[in-house]
């Protein structure tokens, strides 16, 4: 279990990137969902011991990771948002080099490790190819391979499917699902579908604070009766924005499907929406925006 208690991080310029974050993250896939700039990467870097929070505590099992960072790194696999490698080096040689850095000492053990990982992420056939020639999805699968060196029991992946085509995204998510059965895997993303597809538990972070936490199904069930939808001509959207709290829109056959948030039946031909995780997410963002002026005034 990964435990974060009252974690706050304030940058030297005064930006409060994390604000009293408390989470309990069990074994399995855990989704951290939030818009760009919400504090996801700061939180992941903090858990990965790449920066120290201004206050709070983080433990992994019986390990205090703020006091025992080196011990945590031995048990950690990390795929950051911007994953850099030496582009002209082959996948095999790069993994071998990283295995050395991770402490896999003997050449026989490294050979077994590298070959097993390349097979696992389906890169064996291109093991001698320079990473510069990899597609975005292949690079991400290579990134997971390097994160798995040393059999870590805590894995962090930060925005792993951004920019991937649908086929590569599906392949990558299937790989994550296999990995996440026996270890703690934190999936940090702004893509709602990734969390909905993979994660039995999740949290929404906005402006550095946790706004929502729980099982996606439970959160969806709680939203029922508060999300309403209808189809309108595209030209009526602005009028609806002025009258209702619009949380999402999408086009269909030239018209606009609009979803609004309301605690009671708004009338005006709105019907209860078959809410999904996207509606839960957008309604959380809307609630945060709505409460921001009052909080600032207070």
pTM: 0.86
- Closest-CA residue to 23 (of 218, 277, 209): 209
pLDDT of residue 167: 84
pLDDT of residue 88: 84
Spell out the alpha helix ranges (H) of 180-224.
Answer: 192-198, 216-223
Contact 190, 37 (CB under 8 A): no
Residue identified by tokens 């059965």 is 181
Please report, for residues 77, 98, 115, 120, 288, the alpha-carbon distance to residue 135 in angstroms, rounded to integers and kept in the order given: 22, 21, 20, 17, 37
pLDDT of residue 293: 53
pLDDT of residue 265: 93
pLDDT of residue 30: 96
pLDDT of residue 139: 85
Q: How many angstroms separate the CA atoms of 146 and 156, rounded?
A: 12
pLDDT of residue 288: 84
The mean pLDDT of the chain is: 89
Spell out the alpha helix ranges (H) of 121-153.
Answer: 136-147
Q: Within the chain, which residues score under 50 in pLDDT?
A: 294-298
């Amino acid at each position: 279990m990964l435990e974060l208690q009252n974690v706050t991080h304030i940058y030297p310029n005064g930006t409060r990137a994390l604000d009293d974050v408390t989470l309990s993250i069990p074994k399995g896939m855990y989704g951290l969902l939030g818009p760009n700039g919400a504090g996801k990467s700061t939180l992941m870097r903090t858990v990965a011991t790449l920066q120290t929070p201004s206050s709070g505590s983080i433990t992994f099992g019986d390990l205090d990771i703020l006091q025992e960072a080196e011990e945590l790194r031995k048990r950690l696999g990390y795929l950051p948002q911007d994953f850099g490698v030496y582009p002209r080096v082959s996948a095999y040689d790069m993994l071998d080099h990283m295995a050395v850095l991770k402490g896999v000492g003997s050449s026989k053990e490294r050979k077994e490790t590298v070959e097993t990982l390349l097979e696992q992420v389906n890169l064996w056939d291109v093991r001698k190819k320079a990473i510069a020639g990899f597609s975005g999805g292949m690079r991400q699968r290579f990134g997971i391979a390097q994160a798995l060196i040393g059999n870590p029991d805590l894995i962090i992946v930060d925005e792993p499917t951004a920019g991937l085509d649908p086929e590569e995204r599906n392949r990558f998510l299937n790989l994550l699902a296999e990995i996440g059965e026996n270890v703690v895997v934190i999936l940090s993303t702004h893509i709602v579908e990734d969390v909905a597809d993979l994660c039995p538990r999740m949290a929404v972070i906005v402006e550095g604070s946790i706004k929502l936490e729980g099982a996606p199904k439970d959160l969806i069930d709680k939203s029922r009766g508060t999300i309403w939808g209808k189809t309108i001509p595209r030209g009526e959207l602005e009028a609806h924005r002025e009258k209702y709290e619009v949380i999402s829109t999408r086009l269909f056959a030239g018209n606009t499907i609009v979803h609004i948030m309301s605690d009671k039946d708004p009338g005006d031909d709105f019907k209860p929406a078959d809410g999904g995780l996207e509606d839960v997410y957008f309604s959380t963002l809307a609630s945060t925006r709505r409460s921001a002026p009052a909080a600032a005034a207070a």
